[in-house]
Amino acid sequence: MSAARGGRAGAVVTGVGTCLPETVVDNDEVSRHLDTDHAWIHSRTGIERRRRVSPGTTTGDLAVTAGAAALKSAGRDDCDLVLLATTTPDRRCPATAPRVASRLGLRAAAAFDLAAVCSGFVYGLSVADAMITAGTCDRALVIGADVYSSIVDPDDRGTAVVFGDGAGAVLLERGDTGDPGAVLHTELGSDGTGDELITIPPDGAYLTMRGSDVYTRAVTTMAESARSTAAHAGWDLADVDAFVGHQANLRILTSVAKRLRLPPERVVSNIADVANTAAASIPLALADAAAQGRIGSGDRLLLTAFGGGLTWGSAAVVWSGAEPVQDQRS
Ligand code: UT7
């Protein structure tokens, strides 16, 4: 369904691109090294397999490929902002985004990293939307890229089965809130009293997650955030064509959809194939849904994420009908 031309300047999504590592690791392979099995992983999470980078491949490498794919999807070859949401930057200093911008051939684009863990993509979308609307930039690549295989303890069955590597990106351009692709409303939030629930402790090398505590918070907060965002966009929940939530756990998505009274067929999920890819999760799900024809031009999309921080965010977006470009690398 097409929104009427809104007449207000805003940002529109004009392209979507992804990059997944070629190596597929299925549940049986994970179970060879850990006290777990396919039945447990699949029934508790919906995950069947995940992708893993080859040694030497970094977040920046995946981000460059996904960024190039999003530019190609939009039929563009430049932009003036690169915003990279990640928990696994290539180095602690400097940020990874400037090098990504240079490798994409973008001269003098503003470029910075954004740290909001699994909510990073929605945070990035919101920031880029605001910067475009304010006139700070004209065209922005928002990339979510993470290589959690570099921070997950391979011996911790609570996290090792859950996460996968990947990157996804969208191109945002100046437009009108009535245009296909329009970002109509975004909302962000945080609660730092929960910062211990997902963390790399100061003296630790690996990520720790109190999964069941996060689970409960994720369900209630994602439902509230999604409901409020739809209302601010002027949508009835019944009019939402697709709910594109952060792919942390299929049961979380199902529970949130139930709270929102959204029928299961409106819930987009690709967690079976890619697992939880953190900041990359929502653009990867968007691209898969578009590639499969599950979302089309004018559809009302409700994007909602939740993750470490704790952080969360939602966005109401009218899909542009952009053809996704989906790439791979080692
Ligand atoms: O992306 C950022 C946000 N993250 C999330 O939203 C993640 C939210 N949390 C989850 O998705 C789930 O909590 C997990 C998938 C991480 C864990 O599933 P769960 O159903 O919450 O399990 P649990 O942590 O409550 O553990 C239940 C049992 C425990 O055994 P006991 O104590 O009952 O004997 C665990 O030791 O399951 C055990 N367990 C496992 N068993 C087999 C935990 N992990 C595994 C495993 N295989 N991989």
Residue with tokens 């508790």, as numbered in its chain: 44
- pLDDT at position 224: 98
Query: What span, in angstroms and rounded, lies between the C-alpha atoms of 30 and 49?
Result: 9
- Mean pLDDT, range 177-186, rounded to an integer: 95
Superfamily (CATH H level) for 9-176 = Thiolase/Chalcone synthase (3.40.47.10)
Query: What span, in angstroms and rounded, lies between the C-alpha atoms of 20 and 24?
Result: 10
pLDDT band at 8 (very low <50, low <70, confident <90, very high): confident
- pLDDT at position 5: 53
Is residue 4 over pLDDT 60?
no
Q: What is the DSSP letter of 4?
A: P
- pLDDT at position 1: 35
* Tokens found for residue 213: 């505590």
Q: CATH topology of 9-176 equal to that of 183-321?
A: yes
Buried-state track 52-70, b at ≥16 Cβ within 10 A, e below 16:
bbeeebbbbbbbbbbbbbb
Which ligand 1 atom sits closest to the C-alpha of 163?
1
Does the N-terminal peptide bond of residue 94 adopt cis geometry, omega within 30 degrees of 0?
yes
Check residue 65 and give left, alpha or beta (phi > 0: left; psi -120 to 50: alpha): alpha
pTM of the model: 0.97
Please tell me the total number of residues recorded for the chain in this structure.
Answer: 330
The string of pLDDT tens digits covering residues 33-42 is: 999 999 999 9
- Tell me the chain's radius of gyration from C-alpha atoms: 18
pLDDT band at 194 (very low <50, low <70, confident <90, very high): very high
* Tokens found for residue 112: 């910075």
Choice between 282 and 1, residue whose per-residue pLDDT is larger = 282
Mean predicted lDDT score pLDDT of the chain: 96
Q: Three-state SS for 125?
A: helix
Identify the residue whose C-alpha is closest to ligand 1 atom 19: 212
Query: What span, in angstroms and rounded, lies between the C-alpha atoms of 77 and 249?
Result: 35
Determine the number of helices (DSSP H) and then strands (DSSP E) in the chain: 10, 14
- Mean pLDDT, range 204-208, rounded to an integer: 94
pLDDT band at 330 (very low <50, low <70, confident <90, very high): confident
Superfamily (CATH H level) for 183-321 = Thiolase/Chalcone synthase (3.40.47.10)
Is residue 315 over pLDDT 80?
yes
- Mean pLDDT, range 231-260, rounded to an integer: 98
- pLDDT at position 222: 98
- Mean pLDDT, range 86-108, rounded to an integer: 97
Query: Residue 276 catalytic?
Result: yes
* Tokens found for residue 220: 């209630």
Is residue 245 over pLDDT 70?
yes
Catalytic, out of 185, 246, 249, 270: 246
Report whether 16 contacts 73 (CB < 8 A).
yes
Query: What does the domain layout of the chain look like in residue ranges?
Result: 9-176, 183-321
> Could you tell me what percentage of the chain is helix, strand and coil, using 3-state DSSP and rounding each to the nearest 5?
35, 30, 35
The string of pLDDT tens digits covering residues 107-156 is: 999 999 999 999 999 999 999 999 999 999 999 999 999 999 999 999 99
Query: Residue 118 catalytic?
Result: yes
- pLDDT at position 188: 98
Report whether 57 contacts 330 (CB < 8 A).
yes
Report whether 299 contacts 242 (CB < 8 A).
yes
Q: Three-state SS for 159?
A: helix
Q: 35 C-alpha to center of ligand 1: Å?
A: 13
Catalytic, out of 27, 249, 270, 276: 276
Query: Residue 270 catalytic?
Result: no
- pLDDT at position 6: 58
Percent with pLDDT over 70 in the chain: 98
The string of pLDDT tens digits covering residues 279-305 is: 999 999 999 999 999 999 999 999 999
- Mean pLDDT, range 78-99, rounded to an integer: 98
CA 126 to chain centre: 12
Q: Mind giving me the DSSP string for 177-215?
A: TTSTTBEEEEEEEE-GGGTTSEE--TT-SS-EE-HHHHH
Is residue 307 over pLDDT 80?
yes
- pLDDT at position 178: 92
Identify the residue whose C-alpha is closest to ligand 1 atom 16: 211
Q: 287 C-alpha to center of ligand 1: Å?
A: 28
Is residue 2 over pLDDT 50?
no
